């Protein structure tokens, strides 16, 4: 049974870089059984897809975030990560990592981690 756990600072200052990590258990991030993704949810609002990363390290980012987003795999640690640069208050959200075995349907989710951007 695959399980995901997000970790990272809960607070970031405006203009700084946000870094989050998702630790995977029950499968290898490089196995190819899952693709991996980050999704966020601002307070009281809906879900927003941030990007995908595949077992090869290939990525696809939401076009409107592409200039600020980097995703990567850490195979030895069995983790994947998210970096978001130049954050503003609009980036305040619960950030979820997720994995999918189905085409564009994510069936495994972490519990989410709250990130607040404030000075």
Partner 1 sequence: QSALTQPPSASGSPGQSVTISCTGTSSDVGGYNYVSWYQQYPGKAPKLMIYEVTKRPSGVPDRFSGSKSGNTASLTVSGLQAEDEADYYCSSHAGSNNLVFGGGTRLTVL
3-class DSSP state of 63? helix
107 binds partner 1 (CB under 8 A): yes
Tokens of 73: 């795999």
82 binds partner 1 (CB under 8 A): no
16 binds partner 1 (CB under 8 A): no
Residue matched to tokens 């195979």:
75
26 binds partner 1 (CB under 8 A): no
Shortest CB 112 distance to partner 1, Å? 6
- The vertex-24 CA angle with 21 and 25, nearest 5°, equals 150
Sort 111 into a burial class: Cβ within 10 Å, 0-12 / 13-18 / 19+: exposed
Q: Which of 22, 23, 110, 117 binds partner 1 (CB under 8 A)?
A: 110
Size of the site for partner 1 (CB under 8 A): 23
Please give the residue ranges that form the binding site for partner 1 (CB under 8 A): 37, 39, 46-49, 52, 60, 62-64, 96, 98, 102-107, 109-112
């Amino acid at each position: 049974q695959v399980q995901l756990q997000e970790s990272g600072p809960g607070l970031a200052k405006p203009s700084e870089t946000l870094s989050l990590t998702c630790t995977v258990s029950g499968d290898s991030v490089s196995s190819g059984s899952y693709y991996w993704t980050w999704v966020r949810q601002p307070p009281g609002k809906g879900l927003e897809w941030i990007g995908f990363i595949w077992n090869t390290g290939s990525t696809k980012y939401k076009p409107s975030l592409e200039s600020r987003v980097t995703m990567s795999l850490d195979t030895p640690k069995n983790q994947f990560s998210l970096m978001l640069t130049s954050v503003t208050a609009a980036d305040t959200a619960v950030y979820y990592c997720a994995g999918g075995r189905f085409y564009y349907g994510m069936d495994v989710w972490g519990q989410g981690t709250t990130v607040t951007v404030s000075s």
